[in-house]
Amino acid sequence: MATLTETLPKPVRMDSYGVLRVGNTRVSLDSVVYGFNRGEDAATIQRNFDTLSLAEVHGAISYYLHNKEKVDVYLAEQENEFERMRAEHEAKYSPKITREMLLARKNDPNCKQ
């Protein structure tokens, strides 16, 4: 009987920004995990991210399930970083100021529209 042995590609890699990506794509592990945790099956996740193969989705889900505690910590850190950056952006570019600036520009007769 012939034995098939192949090296499986890594299901997840960390990019130069510290973001976990699925396979050799730009799809974040976060995206796959959030879909999985919402109850989506692998085929649905693959349809939502058509650059992923079904095997890559299964690999990412398997990676998550085998490393759930570490990935959950990573996801929480990513969420905290997103919230920090959002707050920083809002402090710098307040939505109220932006709205006021847009209204002033709209009402300015010298402004070309």
Beta bridge partners of 14: 20
Cα–chain-centroid distance for residue 110?
42
Q: How confident is the model at residue 8 (pLDDT cuts 50, 70, 90)?
A: confident
Give the domain range for residue 71: 12-83
Give the chain's domain count: 1
Distance CA 77, CA 82 (A): 9
pLDDT at position 72 is 97
Mean pLDDT in residue range 89-93: 84
Please report whether residue 102 resides in a domain. no
pTM: predicted TM-score of the whole model, two decimal places: 0.75
Please indicate whether residue 106 or residue 74 has the higher confidence score (pLDDT).
74
Query: Which tokens in the block code for residue 17?
Result: 């920004």
Exposure b/e, 66-87, CB count within 10 A at least 16 = b: eeeeebeebbeebeeeeeeeee
Please indicate whether residue 101 or residue 86 has the higher confidence score (pLDDT).
86
Query: Which tokens in the block code for residue 100?
Result: 């006021």
Please report whether residue 46 resides in a domain. yes
CATH of the domain at 64: 1.10.10.10
Please report whether residue 63 resides in a domain. yes
pLDDT digits (tens, 9 = 90+) for 14-52: 999 999 999 999 999 999 999 999 999 999 999 999 999
